[in-house]
Amino acid sequence: MLQDVTRARRAVAFTISMILCGGLVFGGASLSSAQSGFGGSKGLPTHHQAPDFHLQTVDGKAVSKSSLKGQPTLMMFWAPWCHVCQVELPKIHDFHEAVKPYGLQVLSVGFADAKENVLGYINGHADVFTFPSAFDVGNVVASDFRVRATPTFVLIDADGAVRLVHPGAGILHHPKLLSFVEEIVS
């Protein structure tokens, strides 16, 4: 049993390192939030409770802070016109596939564009959007999370506390995310 757990940890670590190396080899250079096309972001302070929010996924399911309780979640706020988002989304898909067996989920939140554009992008890239995806009507949730850049990533722990806010590209290289994943896998 212990041998199986050790193998599983190594497999996840290897998969995540391959995703990271792929990003480095295939153009994963980080861009600042100013280069992302939507401006700077201070975001929420870390280790504070995430704001209460309510969204509906594109497949009609309700998602809220309370529905995520007990499930660590990486939220990605993105827009279809954002070129950095277009590069990051496939990497987030690969990351999600590697960590979902350990309970970390991804929630994509399309905002800063018309609903039909967000839905069109999701439907046109169904192979990438294997995680829950929602449209933020009126950018209300993005505003509550103080999102000012696309993409912006918010890592919420199982207790609903914000552990990391990361505007722009390169979330998969962030030491706090990697440490958080290591905690979950251990």
CATH number, residue 99: 3.40.30.10
Q: How high is the pLDDT of residue 176?
A: 94
Look at the chain and report how many structural domains it folds into.
1
Please report the pLDDT score of residue 45 as a whole number.
62
Amino acid symbol at 67: S
Q: Where are the alpha helices (DSSP H) in the chain?
A: 2-25, 65-68, 83-99, 115-124, 140-144, 175-185
Output the six-digit token pair for 145: 């999370």
Full residue range of the structural domain in which residue 78 is found: 2-185
Q: Which residues of the chain have pLDDT under 70?
A: 1-46
Prediction pTM value: 0.80
pLDDT for the residue numbered 20:
42
Cis peptide before 151 (omega within 30 of 0): yes
Residue 90: both structure tokens together = 């496939």
Specify the DSSP class assigned to residue 103.
Answer: T
Round to whole Å and give the CA distance between 81 and 152: 14
pLDDT, position 15? 53
Predicted pLDDT at 116: 98
Q: 139 near 112, Cβ under 8 Å?
A: yes
Model pLDDT, residue 33: 35
Token duo for residue 173: 């290289």
pLDDT for position 16: 52
